[in-house]
Amino acid sequence: MEFKFTSKSEDDTIELAQNMESEKFANMVICLSGDLGSGKTVFTKGFAQALGIDEVITSPTFNIIKEYNGELPLYHMDVYRLDGKVDNLGIEEYYHKGGVVIIEWADTIEDYLPEERIDIKFKVVDDDRRILLIRPRGKKYEEICEAIL
């Protein structure tokens, strides 16, 4: 099952993230993929705002993992620079820490992702528009997609 969402602006992407946040649960994993500038960090910003996080959200390219405190902890990961090698980082431990994990460039670490998660692929159409292909993996994630899309 795959859902398609057309974002006509950053505001649309933020609204989708906020709607998804309203269905959040502990140990939720959201995997984002797409080209540079396609909206992955914009999505994360919207989700973080809805969690009540006031800090400025930036892509953790050089830190790899940033932790934020909100309604639930947010673990924001950017695995772009890892070249698929995450063996010694303990990324899998974050899946069970009771927060929400959002991973940018998740498609580069496919073997380390949990079976149950939501995958969102961002495709650039033009300067403003994006097509988001949303694939829930697991019953909880299917229910979220059915509720918000």
Domains of the chain, first to last: 3-148 (3.40.50.300)
- Amino acid identity at 33: S
Nearest 5°: the CA angle 54, 56, 62 is: 140
CA distance 139 to 92: 20
Report in angstroms the alpha-carbon separations of 63 from 89, 128, 141: 12, 28, 28
Residue 147: partners with Cβ closer than 8 Å, 6 or more residues away = 23
Q: What does the pLDDT look like over 60-102, one tens digit per residue?
A: 767 889 999 999 999 999 998 877 677 777 899 999 999 999 9
**The overall pTM is greater than 0.85:** yes
